[in-house]
Amino acid sequence: MSPNYMRSFSEGCLRPPTVTGQFHTLFFGSVRMFFLGVLGFAVYGNEALHFSCDPDKREVNLFCYNQFRPITPQVFWALQLVVVLVPGAFFHLYATCKSITQEDILQKSFYSAFYMSSVFLRIVLETVAFWLQIRLFGFKVNAIYVCDVGALEKKFVTRCMVPEHLEKTIFLIAMYTFTVITVALCVAEIFEISCRRLGFFKNQ
């Protein structure tokens, strides 16, 4: 792909055709990714090292931690961000290959519908991720985790201490809030495009 195509693709991704879409890109790219990349590492970076059970044996701690965290929140949220970016990236790649301008997206029905479909798919993916997050992590991290260690010990249940459980609860709520804000911005972007198509707003 030539440098001009790469430039057009990056500009399309960074500057969507709507004001709401540009705000979404700013929020998604700066606030949400910064929050996950910087604060997420600070909160979850050493969780496995400080996760301790009774008895405090390495194999018990590791077994119970894997039971407590089937997937680490950092990995889950990183996958969520990547998956949610795919529909928009696919559309802008298509727009670059077809030399579709920002004005075309707002003025031509097919391109508007295609773009809104990519936004709608983002909403669906964010909603699925929201549901999965609830299933995996809940809304609160308890200080004590009860672990079934029947596969390792004669004692079938043990208690484990979860480090910084309050910080993790706050972080969970923040990530839920970010998902809700992102979905709301996507809905607002579809609404803005629909209003522009109906002539309520002037196209920029």
Instruction: Say whether pLDDT at 23 is over 60.
Output: yes
pTM equals 0.81
Structure confidence at residue 7 as a pLDDT band (50, 70, 90): low
**Is residue 144 left, alpha or beta, with left meaning phi > 0 and alpha meaning psi from -120 to 50?**
beta
pLDDT (mean) for 149-154: 70
pLDDT tens, residue by residue, 59-103: 888 888 888 888 888 889 888 888 888 888 888 777 777 777 777
Q: CA torsion 135→136→139→145, rounded to 10°?
A: 120
Q: What is the DSSP string of 51-81?
A: -EESS--HHHHHHHHHHH-SS-HHHHHHHHH
Instruction: Say whether pLDDT at 48 is over 70.
Output: yes
For the chain, give the percent of residues with pLDDT over 90: 10
Q: What is residue 132's predicted lDDT score, i.e. its pLDDT?
A: 93
For residue 172, what are the CA distances in angstroms to 4, 59, 134? 41, 28, 10
Domains belonging to the chain, first-starting first, are 19-199 (1.20.1440.80)
pLDDT (mean) for 21-26: 76
pLDDT (mean) for 165-182: 89
pLDDT tens, residue by residue, 96-145: 777 777 777 778 888 888 888 989 999 999 999 999 999 998 889 898 88
Separation of alpha carbons 173 and 73, rounded Å: 13
For the chain, give the percent of residues with pLDDT over 70: 86
